[in-house]
Chains A and B, each alone.
Chain A
Amino acid sequence: MADFTSGFWDLYIIVITVLAILGCGVLLWSQSTHKVEPGSDGTTGHVWDEDLTELNTPLPRWWMWLFYITIVFALVYLVLYPGLGSYAGKLGWKSSGAYQEELVKADADYGPLFAKYASQDLKAVAADPQAHAIGERMFLTYCAQCHGSDARGNKGYPDLTDKDWLYGGEPSVIKATIMKGRNGMMPPMGAAVGSEADIENVAHYVKSLSGLTADPIKVSFGKTKFGACIACHGAGGVGNQALGAPNLSDKVWLYGGSAETIMETIRKGRTNTMPSFHEFLGESKVHVLAAYVWSLSNDPAPASLAAAPGVAQK
């Protein structure tokens, strides 16, 4: 009854619907015969403009029966299916139920295929051309919005084709990432690092870690303030995959490697969410998807992938 604010509206709709249908029946019945003056032979007795009369050319009777059948059909339909206010219908049909049925059917159709892959090792799945094609389709559907069609990522969204991983690039870790999702969290560190000048110095130090050009004086000052960052990024800034803390000593930047961007990251922190796909896709599909993602930066079987066929459209 959430659809209606009170029981009145429910009743209102039911009454109007039923009366309208019955009204059609009464109208039909009352109009199926007509009383005329005797002698007005073959006409309905209607006269316009003095001498225009309406001939009675009766429709075949089966027309009338079709009308009655339609009325009976409407009533039976409204008993069986939802349509009368919030009354659910005797058959209990729901659009969400119909959707569920289709899902179940699709699972029955494609389930065995995914089940076959689910029992295989991820690297073996990655080498299978058919699984690769399926994985590619899933990636383009579910992952490409953030990571790009070519999986090379965008600002804030990791590149999946390089060898650099925030949480680790082992097939099982990739699978865990897709299954459970990730919450990347760098807290605002401005206060911990110190003044605005300290932040700038630390940014230059971070740049120097990956061998980018940086002001040597600022680098040396920054190094002393880097202590605030060690807990997560390690003493040498090499990161920590257990925490998802990025390696600062390589040339891969999630948000950009300019001093300004790094300062903004230190000041305000960063929050990143990779959603969990377990609920949505189920484990067996994620299995195939993880194998595909792993194959983006690893070469499981170069020859077979080149010949990956298009999947016939169903």
Chain B
Amino acid sequence: MTEAAAKPVVIRMYAAREEIYPREAKGRYASLRWACVWITQLVFYGLPWLNWNGRQAVLFDLGARKFYIFGMVLWPQDFIYLAALLIIAAYLLFLVTAIAGRVWCGFACPQTVYTEIFMWIERKIEGARSARIRLDRQPWTADKLARKTAKHLAWGVVALFTGFSFVAYFAPVRSLLSNIGAFALGPWEWFWIGFYAFATYGNAGWLREQVCKYMCPYARFQSAMFDKDTLIVTYDQERGEPRGALNPKATPQDAKKKGDCIDCNMCVQVCPTGIDIRKGLQYECIGCAACVDACNGVMDKIDLSRGLIRYSTDNAMDNKWSARRIGQRILRTRVLIYTALLVLIVAGFGTALALRTPLKLDVIRDRGSMGREVGDGMIENVYRLQIMNTAETGHTFRIKVSGIDSVRLATTDQAVLDGASTRAVPVRVQVERSAAARGAAAPGSNHIEFELTAVDDPSLSVREKAVFIVPK
């Protein structure tokens, strides 16, 4: 290369997005995806409308810092359960990814689900793939304007309803609805409805595969969970190549030399991320199996067996394993370990949740005095019992104290609390000086225990340790 002739060219580090026009795929996996869309959206849109105990069944009341989930009320102190739930979700994702790759991405991920809904609307208004391409290339006409407006309006409606449903998990849905009608929402409610609606509209309408390719963190680290036995959508190179158009005049000998792929490009046209699966596994592939559906349809038409593109594994491809062999390899060490851990955590979580008492007690010893002498040779300590009745019903609680022979409450042993309320109850606890002399309560700190029991329900009970100080 001569220096003089080398005229530098400018390349861009940022490129405009190329529009992808996915063709509609029909088949087993497309139906499965639609089933997922229905199930997830029925739950998401429907849950806020259910009632339980005269209140919304699922409500995350951030203002009052209480999470209502059917019969359960979680307080900030129950945050550990949320953490456990997230850990379970993460492990489930690990497990599923190790077995079947990006099935979550292709079938249940909100980005996929909403894109599916938005593409359905797009198809209904602008037509199938070729019509959409034609529409985008043609100059602006009244018809094009009308179609585009209608599409964005329809998207906007779905997006707004999604935003509304989202906020309904945090603010009671019925008052939210009537307040929207009266334009009487608070600024934050407007903001979150608008924000979530905008996110839905932008992500499912405009960004689509860009989210999977450039924004999704899960897409970045899930390859760490793949191995050679993980199910992936893959093209059977051996069977398909050399590809070539179907030639009606081909002799049987010619046909033998040619692979099964007729190069119809259907698999490329249905791909929502715009890749060619025949080039092998690519990071853009979200495992949606649309190409499987498309190619199976083609194979049916030209009377060849299905499965030129199919779910298979690296090992199965290299070693020509049967479906049965693939199935046997599912239960490998990695999967078993993930499963064992998952079962363990779920069991722990379930037990903890079942054994959880909706009652909490904190004991705070008054720091003002170390313990004082009162009449009748008694030593007295003062405590503040911070009681939280996290159940929805009110109770009267009996306070008991134990740990030293002569220990007794000098104040009332009853505390009345409404449902879902807290109360600080100051109590005085006394111990006989003579008991101290006998060594039952030695000078210095002694361990005592408070017990709180609902009068009407003995199973509702908590214990909390405390220190009783006898002055020297």
Interface residues of A (CB under 8 A from B): 31-39, 44, 56, 58-64, 133, 136-137, 140, 144-152, 154-155, 157, 306-314
Contacts and interface: CB of A to CB of B under 8 A. Distances in A.
B64 to A, nearest CB: 6
Chain B interface extent, by class: 35 or more
Given A59-B15, A63-B214, A312-B418, 6 more contacts: A32-B14, A34-B13, A37-B8, A58-B14, A60-B15, A312-B421
B contact face: mostly helix, strand, loop, or mixed:
strand
A308 B417 CA distance: 8
B369 interface: yes
Interface in B360-407: 364, 366, 368-369, 372, 382-384, 387-389, 394
A147 B384 CA distance: 13
Given A38-B6, A310-B421, A61 B16 contact: yes
B13 A56 contact: yes
B210 A62 contact: yes
A33 B364 CA distance: 65
A137 to B, nearest CB: 7
Contact of A148 (B13, B15, B17, B382): B382
27 contacts: A32-B14, A34-B11, A34-B12, A35-B9, A37-B6, A37-B9, A38-B8, A38-B9, A39-B1, A58-B15, A59-B13, A59-B15, A60-B15, A60-B16, A60-B214, A61-B15, A144-B384, A144-B426, A147-B368, A149-B382, A149-B383, A152-B382, A310-B417, A311-B423, A313-B64, A313-B388, A313-B420
B7 A38 contact: yes
Nearest to A147: B368
Contacts of B416: 306-310
A136 B424 contact: yes
- Max chain A Cβ within 10 angstroms of own Cβ: one of B15, B372, B423: B423
A186 B414 CA distance: 42
B174 interface: no
Given A60-B210, A150-B411, A150-B427, A44 B8 contact: no
Contacts of B418: 309-310, 312
Contact of B368 (A32, A56, A154): A154
Contacts of A151: 426
B384 A32 contact: no
A87 to B, nearest CB: 27
B306 interface: no
Contacts, number: 126
A150 B15 CA distance: 72
B461 interface: no
A137 B14 CA distance: 61
A contact face: mostly helix, strand, loop, or mixed:
mixed
A74 to B, nearest CB: 20
B355 interface: no
Contact of A309 (B9, B12, B383, B394): B394
B239 interface: no
B417 A154 contact: no
A36 B9 contact: yes
Given A35-B9, A59-B214, A154-B368, A140 B426 contact: yes
B220 interface: no
A137 B11 contact: no
Contacts of A56: 11, 13
Nearest to A63: B14
Contacts of B424: 136-137, 140, 149
Contacts of B1: 37, 39
B68 to A, nearest CB: 14
A85 B412 CA distance: 58
A152 B372 CA distance: 11
A61 B17 contact: yes
Nearest to A313: B422
Given A140-B424, A150-B427, A32 B389 contact: no
A27 to B, nearest CB: 12
Contacts of A140: 384, 424, 426
- Max chain B Cβ within 10 angstroms of own Cβ: one of A38, A136, A152: A152
Interface in B1-27: 1, 6-17
A311 B421 contact: yes
B87 to A, nearest CB: 28
Contacts of A32: 12-14
B428 interface: yes
A33 B368 contact: no
Contacts of A133: 423
